Amino acid sequence: MKRLRFLSVSLMGLSLVGLTTLINPAKVILAEEKVVTHERVDEPTQVLMNEIAKRVNNILDGILAGSFKYVAQEAGAIVDQSYKVNATFFPVDPKENKWFKRAKIDPNDSEKITKLKEEFDAYLKGIASTALEIQKAAKANNQQETFKSFTNMIEKTCFECHKTAREGQTPIENR
């Protein structure tokens, strides 16, 4: 019975990995032989998003391997990274914000920027709270609850934020 449950959780995890690669396809620059993710995202947002994506992948690997201490560690790192999002996306001087330029947000539109920051704050709280749920389940060595918390984080924070933030943008595969 345990093997069957582990097999089904593993297959769901592999499906999620496949879904992740569909949503965030990697491109290879042949001359440099390096993988490029989060294409067209300016530094330092690219670094931050890649770091969070790496930690999310590490959590899934840890869940599938049953390495709960590692999962708890990576979930804690996501909490730490989530606090950097506001500082990265909403620096003190909005006129120098490359992300605003790319997203075609007028740096003088303080009302829109405030509303956007409030939306990001809600997602950040969601990331932090769901990462803490993952950490709690991992510390209890409960694979099923850890995976459930993990999928909850992906669905309710990652996907929702990307859906909202990328609304109206042309997908990479259609450029």
For the chain, what percent of residues have pLDDT higher than 70? 67
Q: What confidence category does residue 28 fall into, taking pLDDT thresholds of 50, 70 and 90? A: very low
pLDDT at 25: 46
The CA angle 19-60-76, to the nearest 5 degrees, is 125
| Type and span of the H or E element at 36 | strand 34-36
For the chain, the C-alpha Rg in angstroms (whole number) is 18
State the helix-helix crossing angle for 143-153 and 2-23, rounded to 10 degrees. Answer: 20
The reported pTM is 0.63
How much is the average pLDDT of 79-88? 80
Using one digit for the tens of pLDDT, what is the confidence trace for 30-78? 344 444 444 444 455 667 778 888 999 999 999 999 999 999 999 999 9
pLDDT at 139: 95
Using one digit for the tens of pLDDT, what is the confidence trace for 111-142? 888 888 888 788 888 888 999 999 999 999 99
